[in-house]
Amino acid sequence: MKTVKVYGPGCKRCETTESMVKDTAAKLGIEVEVEKVTDPKSIAMAGIMSTPGISIDGKLVHAGGLPKEDALVTWLRGS
């Protein structure tokens, strides 16, 4: 199971990003545990200057704006 963190203050883009991660993982048959991180200090400590941000298994893979679906596939597959 992959651990995915979605960083952001809870805005519409952050909610959409969370849904995109869950939907893409389901399509790929990959189990994910998604954690929403909304604390500004935690977001900054993760090195994210623009939200939403995504980390997968502790590795920051995206920050700022909605991710592209093909990029999500690559990140979730780990390639």
Domains and CATH numbers, the chain: 2-77 (3.40.30.10)
In angstroms, the Cα distances linking 43 to 32, 53, 62, 66, 71 are: 20, 8, 13, 16, 21
Give the confidence band of 58 by pLDDT, cuts at 50, 70, 90.
Answer: very high
Instruction: Tell me the backbone φ, ψ of residue 63, rounded to 5 degrees.
Output: -150, 130
Say how far apart CA 42 and CA 36 lie, in whole Å: 11
Where does the pLDDT of residue 47 fall: very low under 50, low under 70, confident under 90, or very high at 90 and above? very high
Q: What is the mean pLDDT of residues 32-47?
A: 96
